[in-house]
Amino acid sequence: MVSGAIAFTGSGTLEIVGSVMPSATISGFEIGDIIDLASVASGSGGSAVLTSGNVLDVVEGGSTYVLNLNPSQNYSGTQFVLSTDGISGTDIALANLVSVPSGWTLTISSGQTSGDVMVLSGGTLDILSGGTAVGTTVSGGGSEIVSSGGTASSTTVSSGGSLVVSSGGLADPTMISSGGSETVSSGGTDLGALISGGMQIDLGLVSGVTVYAGSQVVGSAGTAIGTKVSSPMSWGANAGAPGVDKGGNTFNLTLLGQYSAANFNAGADGHVGTLITDPPASSSVVQTPLVVHH
Q: Where are the domains of the chain?
A: 6-96, 99-229, 232-294
What pLDDT is attached to residue 174? 94
Burial readout 81-111 (b: 16 or more C-beta within 10 A, e: otherwise): ebeebeeebbbbbbeebeebeeebebbbbeb
Each residue's pLDDT tens digit, 238-277: 333 344 444 455 555 555 445 555 566 666 656 555 666 6
CB 73 within 8 A of CB 50: no
Nearest alpha-carbon partner for 91 in 121, 72, 65: 65
- 181 contact partners, CB below 8 Å, separation of at least 6: 157, 161, 162, 163, 198, 199, 200, 201
Give the whole-angstrom CA distance, residue 290 versus residue 226. Answer: 16
What is the percent of the chain where pLDDT is above 70? 75
- 9 contact partners, CB below 8 Å, separation of at least 6: 28
CA angle at 239 for the pair 238 and 245, rounded to the nearest 5°: 100
Terminal alpha carbon distance of the chain: 72
Position 167 pLDDT exceeds 90:
yes
Position 74 pLDDT exceeds 80:
yes
What pLDDT is attached to residue 73? 93
Each residue's pLDDT tens digit, 2-50: 557 899 988 899 999 999 999 999 999 998 899 999 999 987 678 888 8
> pTM for the whole thing?
0.55
